[in-house]
């Protein structure tokens, strides 16, 4: 991966990438490599990183198999064994997916932030507007504080657990897997915050351009042509933003659907991610409303054609975030998923009650069918 020369990256995700390197989610070579292509050092570091990831996965599986008796008191209980195995396998599988995805698709970072820099330059050149760095810093700081509070409570819990005289190796390594999943979904939220700030600047530029057009409706054709070029620049900005959304969807294509399923039970983090995606959709609709309510000179055919192209682009290419290209991430989807999960939980509970009742009745019937040993002894004739 090339060294990123991006001010947006330095403020938003550069410290976060250092944390990912520290936790072993991405290799060191993907963070500080300056040259393109592969070299011996890069390949060797990448190989060592993948070897460490697979070694950690194998260690987790081995520890889980060895300490299975400590986790499940009754190994004959098939339901408990299956549920414990499914929970452990899903956690380890998603952790492995996060490691491989973050390493394999690290080049997408360069493409995403290059487009962000193009948008920032276009805002400055065409609209004389600076990117809203203070708002970006405040939003990123809020997310960092949330993550810091979570890590503080987690560290306090680990210290308390370390004082207990019980084997905690397996638990601590599984706790690392939990932190990896938390870091990955926070990485997605950091990207979403950058999109929200960029959409806010795009809305400000559209509002400014609409006001200029309203004041110049009856002026000469040259000024209207200048304003027309401004709307073309708005269309280019929205196209770059939509392309970045597709790149981000490609970057989180493997891990995000699994993270949503795992974090569905824990609403705090997933609700924040869905809320940020919903904010992006609201900003996109706000941009549409500015252009729809703008007073246009219908006698100007080039201007009307430009508005028609922008309207078609905003309608066909909305700013929405998808998980694996099949689930839209927003508050509406979260509500539907919680409803489906609630219905499945209710029916599963009824089914388990039915199975338990059936098993208890079968046990009673089997007990009644067995002969009474005392009665059998009394009926035996004496010799």
pLDDT in tens, 277-322: 999 998 888 888 887 777 565 667 777 788 788 888 888 888 888 8
Radius of gyration over alpha carbons of the chain, in Å?
29
| Domain assignment present for 380 | no
CA pair distance 31, 123, nearest whole angstrom: 29
CA pair distance 122, 5, nearest whole angstrom: 17
| Domain assignment present for 148 | yes
Average predicted confidence (pLDDT) for the chain = 76
Between 83 and 148, where is the model more confident? 148
pLDDT reported for residue 177: 77
DSSP string, 185-250: HHHHHHHHHHHHHHHHHHHHHHHHHHHHHHHTTTS-HHHHHHHHHHHHHHHHHHHHHHHHHHHHHH
- pLDDT value at 66 more than 80: no
pLDDT band of residue 33 (cuts 50, 70, 90) is: very low
Enumerate the β-bridge partners of residue 322.
328
pLDDT in tens, 214-270: 776 655 566 767 777 888 899 899 999 999 999 999 999 888 887 877 766 566 678
pLDDT band of residue 2 (cuts 50, 70, 90) is: very low
Cβ atoms of residues 22 and 176 within 8 Å = no
Which of 144-153, 300-309, 371-380 tops mean pLDDT? 144-153
| Domain assignment present for 259 | yes
- pLDDT value at 208 more than 60: yes
CA pair distance 231, 291, nearest whole angstrom: 10
| Domain assignment present for 57 | yes
pLDDT band of residue 72 (cuts 50, 70, 90) is: low
Cα three-residue angle 199-202-207, rounded to 5 degrees: 125
Q: How many domains does the chain have?
A: 1
C-alpha closest to that of 127 among 212, 9, 216: 212
Please name the residue that has the structure tokens 């490609």. 250
- pLDDT value at 133 more than 90: yes
| Domain assignment present for 1 | no
C-alpha closest to that of 291 among 226, 214, 363, 377: 214
Model's pTM, two decimal places? 0.80
Between 83 and 309, where is the model more confident? 309
pLDDT band of residue 36 (cuts 50, 70, 90) is: very low
Q: What are phi and psi of 71, to 5 degrees?
A: -80, -45
pLDDT cut 70: percent of the chain above it:
67
pLDDT cut 90: percent of the chain above it:
18
Cβ atoms of residues 53 and 98 within 8 Å = no
CA pair distance 206, 201, nearest whole angstrom: 9
3-class DSSP assignment, residue 362: helix
| Domain assignment present for 383 | no
pLDDT reported for residue 118: 92
* Domain region containing 81: 7-342
| Domain assignment present for 20 | yes
Q: Which residues contact 1 (CB under 8 A, 6 or more apart)?
A: 30, 31, 33, 106, 107, 109, 110
Cβ atoms of residues 223 and 155 within 8 Å = no
Cβ atoms of residues 331 and 278 within 8 Å = yes
| Domain assignment present for 368 | no
pLDDT reported for residue 114: 92
């Amino acid at each position: 991966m090339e060294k990123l020369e991006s001010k947006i990256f330095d403020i938003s995700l550069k410290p976060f990438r250092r944390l990912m390197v520290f936790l072993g989610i991405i290799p060191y070579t993907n963070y500080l490599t300056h040259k393109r292509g592969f070299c011996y050092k890069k390949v060797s570091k990448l190989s060592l990183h993948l070897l460490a990831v697979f070694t950690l996965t194998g260690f987790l599986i081995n520890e889980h198999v060895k300490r299975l008796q400590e986790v499940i008191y009754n190994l004959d209980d098939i339901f408990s064994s299956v549920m414990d195995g499914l929970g452990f396998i899903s956690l380890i599988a998603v952790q492995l997916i996060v490691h491989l995805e973050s390493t394999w698709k690290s080049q997408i970072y360069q493409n995403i932030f290059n487009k962000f820099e193009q948008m920032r330059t276009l805002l400055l050149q065409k609209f004389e507007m600076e990117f809203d760095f203070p708002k970006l810093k405040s939003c990123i700081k809020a997310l960092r504080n949330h993550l810091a509070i979570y890590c503080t409570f987690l560290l306090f819990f680990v210290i308390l657990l370390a004082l207990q005289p019980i084997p905690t190796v397996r638990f601590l390594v599984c706790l690392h897997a939990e932190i990896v999943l938390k870091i990955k979904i926070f990485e997605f939220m950091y990207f979403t915050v950058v999109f929200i700030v960029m959409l806010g600047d795009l809305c400000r530029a559209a509002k400014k351009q609409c006001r200029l057009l309203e004041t110049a409706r009856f002026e000469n054709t040259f000024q209207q042509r200048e304003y027309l070029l401004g709307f073309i620049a708005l269309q280019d900005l929205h196209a770059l933003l939509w392309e970045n959304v597709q790149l981000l969807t490609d970057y989180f294509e493997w891990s995000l659907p699994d993270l949503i399923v795992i974090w569905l039970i824990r609403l705090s983090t997933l609700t924040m991610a869905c809320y940020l995606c919903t904010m992006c959709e609201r900003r996109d609709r706000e941009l549409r409303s500015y252009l729809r309510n703008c007073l246009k000179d219908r006698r100007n055919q080039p201007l009307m054609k430009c508005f028609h192209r922008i309207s078609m682009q905003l309608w066909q290419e909305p700013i929405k975030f998808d998980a694996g290209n099949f689930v839209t991430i927003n508050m509406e989807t979260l509500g539907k998923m919680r409803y489906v999960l609630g219905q499945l939980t209710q029916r599963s509970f009824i089914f388990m009650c039915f199975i338990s009742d059936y098993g208890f009745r079968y046990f009673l019937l089997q007990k009644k069918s067995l002969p009474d040993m005392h009665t059998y002894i009394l009926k035996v004739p004496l010799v």
